[in-house]
Structure formats: C-alpha cells, structure tokens
Amino acid sequence: MEATTTEPRAVSVVILKGGVGKSTTSMNLARQLAERGTTLFADLDPNGHATNGLGFEAAYQDEVDLGDVILEGDATPHDLIRSTEHGFDLLPSSDTLEDVEKELAGAMQGSARIKSKIVDPLLGDEYEYVVFDCPAYPGMLNNNALVATGNVMIPIEPGSSAIGGYKRTMERLIEPAREYIDVDVLAVVPNKLGDRIDHRTEDRELLENLNTATYEVNPGQQLQEAVPDFARITGEEFDAIDAGEMAPPKPGIRHRSALSRSLQHSQPLQDYDPENDQIACYEELAEIVAAGGVER
C-alpha cells in the first residue's frame, strides 16, 4: 500500500493505567503503519510485554540497553534496533529500563534525550513512522516519549475506572507537558469491547462518555472529535437504538481471543489471523496517524 502522506510522524501510545490494551494497540498500529511506510516500534515499557511477546527475549536481557544510547554510552540506536518478520523494526525494551529512567532524572535535558538521540536522527531519514509503547506510570520515559513525538493515542477499555484513567493521564501527563511543548491527542481508542450496547453495560457507558462528553481532549477540540469512526455513536443514534428504530452497531475494537493468542505466537494480529474483522480498526488508527488526527 502506498503512503497517503509524505510527512513523517511519531506517536506515543500511553495511558496511566495498566492492562487496558496499550501494548496490543501500539504493536498492531505499528504493523498497519508498516503497510504505509518504514516503521519503528519502540518499546519503552520496562515490563517488556511487547518485546517479549514478539519473541525478543534475548534482546530484552541484552547488556546493551537504551541507556547506552541516550545517556553516557557510545552505542547508537542501530546497536539496539532489531528487524522483525512483520514489516516494522523493533527498538526493544530491556530489564534495565527502570534504572535508565532513574538516571534520566539527573541528566542534563533528561526529558529530551530520546528525541535528540533516536527520533531526530531516524524519523524522516530511515523511518516514516515511529510508535512508542509507553509505561503505565508518569516518569522520565513518558516525558521523553511526549517530547520526542508530540502526538498521543490513548487506549481505554470498559470499566468503572475507564474515564478516570483517561482523566488521570490528561491531568498528570498531557497537561503538564503542554506547559512546555505542543502535545496533540490524535485519538482516544476504546478497545476490549464485548457487551451489547442496547443495554446498560460498561461498554455502553464507556461509548456514551466518549461520544457525548463536553470536556476537551485538545484545546478547542471536544473529546468525541477524537473518537475513531469505528467507535463513533452519536447521542441521536443511541436514542434511536433505545427506541428500536436502529439496529445496534458493533463498534470496535472488540474483544477477540485472537488478539491475545497472537502474542502467544509472537505475531501481530495481521500476521496471526489475516482475516480477523478487527484488523480494519487498526488500519483506521494508522490512517489517523498518517493524517495527523481523526478526519470525519
């Protein structure tokens, strides 16, 4: 597939809450971006879920780590980057990333090291897209990702703490960063959807909150404007569903066992189950990155 944009773009997939599909979203986003152009998938999460899930356990425990590139070492990004069988390259996580994060706190311009040492040299020259899978807690690695990319996708799943996780991410990470740099939220991505939405389920509650909220995700942009088309349901459509005048849609990204099994087989969904109906959702996320935001 030919790229639809000539502008290179980096994006951070982040939310200050664990277990909401962050690594799954970022990995499958990278896979679909690789259909458009050269792509680097950078795993900044110290638990290395994506790195190990892709089968790079040895790289996760390698003696050369991110600190050797962005701190005082003499390594280059190419000493870390691994090629994969899925069209994108991997900058792996390591079991020393928590130590690297501590050292960044005392480093000169510690929040800009990944930008200056990795993204600036590579984005636009070697890679058209860079996707960061970020930690689920605030800290120097997340700060570095925001400075390096200036673009964010926020995955979110149904549950009582869903919107709270989104608001916490905005209040503790995005808004403080915006005091110093521009940060655009390209999309807020509901995933792990499964229940019917013509009843009062947690899935419906999440979708209603995202699609009818009055608070802003970017300055001058309301939250619903950042919801991808695959999860966009207007208040009028919810009314029509409740009145029996409209068949309930099945918004993505829906729960599929193939999404969890694919990692057990060290593959993104596209390669594990090429006919899966959720691949189209990740294709749409790739289009959002290429376009620089949701376009209706």
Write out 110-175 in H/E/C secondary structure: HHHHHHHHHHHHHECCCECEEEEECCCCCCHHHHHHHHHHCEEEEEECCCCCHHHHHHHHHHHHHH
Strands 151-156 and 82-83: what pairing?
Answer: unpaired
- Confirm whether 155 is domain-assigned: yes
Element at 186 (helix H, strand E): strand 184-190
- Confirm whether 112 is domain-assigned: yes
Query: pTM above the 0.85 mark?
Result: yes
* CATH code: domain of residue 66: 3.40.50.300
Beta-carbon contacts of residue 177 (< 8 Å; ≥ 6 apart): 143, 146, 147, 183
Tokens of 67: 């600190």
Q: How many C-beta atoms lie closer than 10 Å to residue 167's C-beta?
A: 12
Domain extent at residue 19: 9-192+253-280
Tell me which residues of the chain have a pLDDT lower than 50.
1-5
- Confirm whether 222 is domain-assigned: no
- Confirm whether 142 is domain-assigned: yes
- Confirm whether 223 is domain-assigned: no
Give me the number of domains the chain comprises: 1
Contact status, residue 290 vs residue 36, Cβ threshold 8 Å: yes
- Confirm whether 147 is domain-assigned: yes
Contact status, residue 31 vs residue 270, Cβ threshold 8 Å: yes
What pLDDT is recorded for position 19?
Answer: 84
Give the closest residue to 286 by CA, choosing from 266, 270, 272, 265: 270
- Confirm whether 269 is domain-assigned: yes
- Confirm whether 275 is domain-assigned: yes
Contact status, residue 100 vs residue 53, Cβ threshold 8 Å: no
What pLDDT is recorded for position 5?
Answer: 46
What pLDDT is recorded for position 3?
Answer: 42
What pLDDT is recorded for position 6?
Answer: 60
Strand, helix or coil for residue 187: strand
